[in-house]
Every structure is written in structure tokens, then in C-alpha cells.
Amino acid sequence: MTSFKQVLGGDVRQFTMVFALVALLVAFDVASGGRMLTSSNFQNLLSGNAYVLILAIGMVMVIVIGQIDLSVGSVAGFVGMVVALSARDLNLPWWAAVLVGLAVGTAIGCWQGFWLARLGIPGFITTLAGMMIFRGAVIWISGSISVPVPPELRFLGSGYLPEWGPAFTQMNNSTLLLGLIAIGVYGYSQLTQHRRAAASGDRAEPLWPVVVRVVLVGAVIAYVTWLFGSGRPGTSFPVPGLILVGLVIVYHVVTQRTRFGRHIYAVGGNRAAAALSGVNTRRTYFLVMANMSFLAALAGIMFVGRATSAGPSDGTMWELDAIAAVFIGGAAVSGGIGTVTASMVGGLVMAVLNSGLMLMGVGADRTQVIKGVVLLAAVAFDVYNKQQGRPSITGLLWERLSRGGTTQGGPDAAAAVAASTATAPPALGPVEPEGDAPVVPAEDRASTGRAG
């Protein structure tokens, strides 16, 4: 068991949802007669759920700061309709229509962020109003009819990587190259991290667990590469999946390796302490909400590209799928805890449930019941672990990849921010909170000052 933990590089409980995802894949493959682990099913699974996973990237940041966004589905549907109408009625080229859609989505996020950051209206109320406004707006501007989108957008929503080179590999060579790059980057990062730990004098783990980990993860990546690259001619790794992978990498770095990421966790862990440490809490709230609507706009554009048209009902209930993915991934309802990679695992669990139950002929009614039970069970198990003083289910997922960053926030996160924020006031006397910080009672102010 000790060797197994060394290979994983941490507490086994951190990978509960990863093990659950693998178990679901194997179980559904057996139950469906081998139809789950096929190239066509995986391609459809990734393309058909990429928009929800993109929403989950932004939603985890919103939930970490202790807020929630109920408008993402309505914003996605509204932006998709704006793009379709811009291309049809204004005769804009497809790329200009996409830029208009992204600008509209970002403007909506800034508008909602203003109400939260400046006026202090809770995100639940602000985005609930936004959900009603933009759900009605998409029906209004569309006249309750579907509008076709430019054919170029179909590449963003359902396209595949191109084929090139010799055919002796019997695979799509673009997908093969992508898999080889992924294996090389992962192996290099693990070995580099081990070498730096040894050079710094830290108590580094032995080399053999690192090698075993690289081999195991490399084998998984190789299998997935073969699965996506060996489908019928003309298919390969989906373009929506490539966009999703790029976003996961970017937002993982942003949340784990940047000052802004540390501020997000600090504000979610303890807003008052974060403000006393020099964090601009208003700006953090504003930027997180603006980013959420930007990603919702991107998800809506990709969805209408896959559907080939924008409809008045697009985006309905998408926010619930995104929220479920984040909480299954181990985020805390109270804020301060959650990671992008863990939310992707949670989203994939939901996607595999949808796909597997559909392959088994389970109706939509029973599918919703099962998904609700899974969500409740995952959160209940996570709460139980925290009550026992254990870590979140997947809150520290891939912590080794983000060493040096903040994988989980909490009340202590502000202390880390205080040490790393250049704008933190010097401890020469009583520290006055910034203008947007809430009034702290005298007893809490005294305890906060001692903690600082």
C-alpha cells in the first residue's frame, strides 16, 4: 500500500473520482457489449460535452470565491443567437461574428460583475436576474425560431484534426503527434520536478515511483491516443476537445501559478483576511464573473457550431450540469476549495454517465434520477471526509503538477497571499481594510490581527 501511495504521489483518497471514472468506463463497456470504449463513442462523448466542461472551468473559479452563477446557460444561448443573427442579418464574416459574440459575452460578465463587486448584490441574485433576462432575450431576438450559423463554425463545434503524412501508422497522424507530445511533456515535467526537489535539498521521493508514474500515465495517454486516432477515415481527436485541453492548461496555470489565482483562493477562504492582506477583493470578484461569461459565450458558440443552428432553447439547464461537475470534482459549497483539473474529472463522470446510460437504453427520466443520486452521494462523501479531518475527494488532484502553487484555499490562504503580494501593507501598526472590505467586528478584528 505504501508503494501504491508513492506511485500516486499523495493520499489515495484524492483520486477517488478518478478511480470512479475508470470503474464507470469499464462497467458500462461490459454492460453495453463493448460499445463504450470505441473511437466513435469517445469522439461523440468529448464533442458533445465540451461546452459543459468549458462552463465548469469558469464555474469552479466562481464557486471558489464563494459565489455562484446561474446565468451561464442563458448567456451561452443568447450569445449563440447573437452570432447567428450577426452572420445572417449583418452579413458579417464568421470570424467577425465570433468576435462579436465573445465581446457580448464579456460585456455581460462585466455587467454582472459590477452588481456583485461594486454594489455588493450576491452573485446568486445577480445571476438569477441575468438568467431570466437573457433567457427571455434569446427568445425575443430570435422570434422563437432557429437561425442557421455559417458552415465554418461547424469546424469549431464538431471538426477533427486533419490527416497528413504516410498511412503506415494506420492512425490519424495529427492525433498520434498530439499524443506523443502529451507523453513527452508529462514525462519531462515529472523528471524535472524530481530533479529540482533533489537539488534543493528537500526530502525528495525515490526515482522509481516517478518512473512508474510516467510509464502508467504514458500508457493511458497512448491508449486514448489510439482510441481517438484509429476511428473511421476522416475522424480524429475532435477540435472541441483540443480547445478544451488548451483552456484547461491555461486556467490551471492561472489558478495555481499566478498572483490572481492566489487571490481567488484567498478571497474564497476568508474575504476579510484577504482584504487586510492587500487583496483587491472587488477586482477579484469582477474579473471572475467577467471570465465566467466569456467562457459561457465560447461554449455557446461551440454548441451552435455543432448543432449547425442557434435555437431559442439553447443553454437550458446548462448551469446545473456545470455546477454538478464542479461539486463532484470536490469543490466546497462554502468556497475556497476546488481545482480546474478536479472539475474536469467531475464533468467527465457526468458525461460518461450520460453516454453509458444511453447505450444501455435507459430513458431520460431515469438518467436524471441517477445523476442526481450520484451528485448527492459525491458531495455527501466529500463532506464526511472533511468532518473526519480528511482532505477533499479530489481537491488536491494533481498537486504534484502544481507544486509551488495553491491547490486549495481556505482560511490560511490569505497568509500565503500576504507573503507573496507586493501591495500588502507593512506590519507597522493597525492595518485598515480597503474600502470594499466588510466591517469586521472588534473581536474578529483582534483575532485577524493576531493571525496576520
pLDDT digits (tens, 9 = 90+) for 242-263: 999 999 999 999 999 999 999 9
Q: How far apart are CA 270 and CA 413, in angstroms?
A: 8
Residues 205 and 306 in one domain: no
- Predicted pLDDT of residue 365: 84
Contact 269, 31 (CB under 8 A): no
Do residue 332 and residue 231 come from a single domain? no
Residues 38 and 123 in one domain: yes
- pLDDT tens-digit map of 65-112: 999 999 999 999 999 999 999 999 999 999 999 999 999 999 999 999
Q: What angle do CA 78, 299, 130 make, to 5 degrees?
A: 40
Same domain assignment for residues 51 and 79: yes
Mean pLDDT of 427-435: 38
Mean pLDDT lowest among 33-47, 129-143, 197-211: 197-211
User: Who contacts 433 (Cβ-Cβ below 8 Å, separation ≥6)?
Assistant: 272, 275, 276, 440
Residue 89 lies in a domain: yes
Whether residue 439 lies inside any domain: the answer is: no
Query: What pLDDT shows up at residue 371?
Result: 84
pLDDT surpassing 70 at residue 321: yes
Question: Do 168 and 155 reside in the same domain of the chain?
Answer: no
Considering the domain boundaries, does residue 116 fall inside one?
A: yes
Q: How many domains does the chain have?
A: 2
Question: Of the candidates 354, 334, 331, 355, which has an alpha carbon nearest to the alpha carbon of residue 342?
Answer: 331
Give the number of other CB atoms < 10 A from CB of residue 420: 14
Which of 191-195, 380-384, 444-448 is most confident?
191-195
**Domain co-membership, 214 together with 329:** no
| SS3 at position 394 | coil
127-155: pLDDT as tens digits: 999 999 999 999 999 998 999 999 889 88
Same domain, 229 and 125: no
Separation CA 357–CA 32 (nearest Å): 9
Do residues 266 and 190 share a domain?
Answer: no
Residue at a domain's end among 222, 237, 252? 237
Region 316-336: what's the mean pLDDT? 87
| 148 lies in the same domain as 186 | no
Inter-CA distances, 349 with 392, 425, 439, Å:
17, 44, 42
210-226 pLDDT, tens digit each: 888 889 999 999 999 99
Q: Which of 220, 237, 254 is the last residue of a domain?
A: 237
Is 1 contained in some domain? no
3-class secondary structure for 158-179?
A: HCECCCCCCCCCCCCHHHHHHH
**What does the pLDDT average to over 324-348?**
88
Same-domain status, 94 and 188: no
- Nearest C-alpha neighbor of 304 from the set 161, 174, 138: 138
- Indicate if the pLDDT at residue 239 is higher than 90: yes
Residue for grid cell 525528495: 204
Give, as one character, the DSSP assignment of residue 339.
-
Same domain as 244, residue 121: yes
Q: What pLDDT, on a 0 to 100 scale, did the predictor assign at position 428?
A: 35
At 62, which CATH number? 1.10.3470
Predicted model pTM: 0.81
pLDDT of residue 418: 44
Stretch 107-120: mean pLDDT: 94
Domain check: are 57 and 191 in the same one? Answer: no
Look-up: residue for cell 483582534? 446
pLDDT of 441 > 70? The answer is no
Residue 420 in domain: no
What confidence score (pLDDT) does residue 69 get?
A: 93
The average pLDDT across 307-323 equals 91
212 part of a folded domain: yes
Per the structure, the complete domain to which residue 27 belongs is given by 10-159+239-402
Residue-level pLDDT at 19: 84
Would you say residue 115 has pLDDT above 90?
A: yes
Q: Is 170 left (phi over 0), alpha (psi -120 to 50) or beta?
A: left
